Amino acid sequence: MSLSRRDRREWRIILWFSLASAAISVYFGYAVTRPGDPPVWGMAQGILASLLIATPIMIFELRRARFGSLRRLRRLPLAGYFAAKVLFYFIIIVSGLLLSSALISLVTPTSRPVVFDATFRGSLVLAIGMSLLGNLVAETGRLLGFGVLKSLLIGRYVRPRREQKVFLLIDLKDSTGLAERLGPVRFHELLNAFFRDVAHAALECDAEIHKYVGDEAILTWPAGPALADGACLTCPFIARAAIAANAERYRARFGVVPEFRAALHYGEIVTGEIGDLRREIAYVGDTLNVAARLLEAAKALGHDILVSADLLKLVALAPDRAAHPLPTLRVRGRAAPLEIFALS
């Protein structure tokens, strides 16, 4: 069975995090090897403890959203959610350290039985510190987006840069009517479920979610990868399929299956850090404005997915996709009308 892009991405993260954790644990195991024990056994125990601790924690962090019982943890108050995670971490860490020590003792005649000595306490402190650091990175990445977090850490956009990017705007249909019918709390729950399916499509297509604005999601790609495999044109159809796959869940919870309009455009944008008390990476330029105008035109023209000719001429359509030409669109600030197409 072939893995989806999202699955492959998650397993890559788990692999690299586990390898990094194992490398740190190897050094620590070597440094704190008990007197009389060969250093190789301390290193082996470090690797084993790392695999027993770091791997399940990363699987939990990356894949808990797949399971309803674990996803409901996020509905707890912040203090309760944090306490539940701390308890889970503590159980995994202590169990991993005890099990790794016991397994190494079975194969090393010179090793002593499991004892709660200074080495064990040091290993416990290291494991807790690494777990908390990994958790901090994971939660910050979810809050900002991992692409944004990486760019902020390396200072990529400290100075504004010109870039070529593809934008996909996805807007929930009839959001006002849905909000009136469901009420603000249940509409928020619907919007959250809708954005979860959009995020699934973004992961499948290697898109970055720039931000959510009301009932609209803004996705973006660097020009190269997005144009090479046509993932940007596929993304709205994957989002539609994800919503259709969860149709019964939507009907059971909200009595309706959400629908959306989408607009795709490509062009130059200026990207840079902005803000003081709260910093974020902002896109400035005509490209995003044109994409927003395209989204407005989708409603007026009665088509769900519109794409500009600027993007379509650079990306090959998949065999099961069709682009239907529409009347040109006048966009304020552009001298020439914008050629647009409807995707199906």
Specify the pLDDT at position 246: 92
This prediction has a pTM of 0.70
Residue type, 283: Y
Instruction: State in Å, rounded, how far the first CA of the chain is from the last one.
Output: 28
Which tens digit of pLDDT belongs to each residue from 18-41?
787 777 777 776 666 666 666 777
Domains of the chain, earliest start first = 5-144 (no CATH), 147-343 (3.30.70.1230)
Specify the pLDDT at position 242: 92
Q: Which residues contact 137 (CB under 8 A, 6 or more apart)?
A: 149
- 281: exposed, middle or buried (Cβ count in 10 Å: 0-12, 13-18, 19+): buried
Specify the pLDDT at position 251: 93
Specify the pLDDT at position 213: 87
Which tens digit of pLDDT belongs to each residue from 274-314?
777 777 777 888 888 888 888 888 888 888 999 888 888 88
Can you tell me which residue has the tokens 């629908």? Answer: 259
Q: Are 219 and 212 in contact (CB under 8 A)?
A: no
Residues in the chain, how many? 344
Specify the pLDDT at position 296: 87
Specify the pLDDT at position 40: 74
Cα dihedral sign, 134-140-142-147: negative
Can you tell me which residue has the tokens 């409603």? Answer: 299
Question: Hey, which residues does 266 pair with through a beta bridge?
Answer: 166
Specify the pLDDT at position 158: 72
User: Angle at CA 30, nearest 5°, toward 29 and 31?
Assistant: 90
The tens-digit pLDDT sequence of the chain (344 residues) is 455 666 677 777 777 777 877 777 777 766 666 666 667 777 777 788 778 877 787 777 776 655 555 566 666 665 677 677 777 888 888 888 788 777 777 766 555 555 566 667 777 777 777 777 766 676 666 666 666 667 767 667 778 888 888 999 999 998 889 999 989 889 998 998 999 899 889 888 888 888 888 889 999 988 877 677 788 888 999 999 999 999 999 999 999 999 999 999 998 888 887 777 777 777 888 888 888 888 888 888 888 999 888 888 888 787 888 888 888 777 776 667 878 888 88
Specify the pLDDT at position 239: 93
Q: DSSP letters of 83-111? A: HHHHHHHHHHHHHHHHHHHHHHHHH-TTP
Helices (H), 183-303: 184-204, 223-229, 231-245, 247-254, 286-301
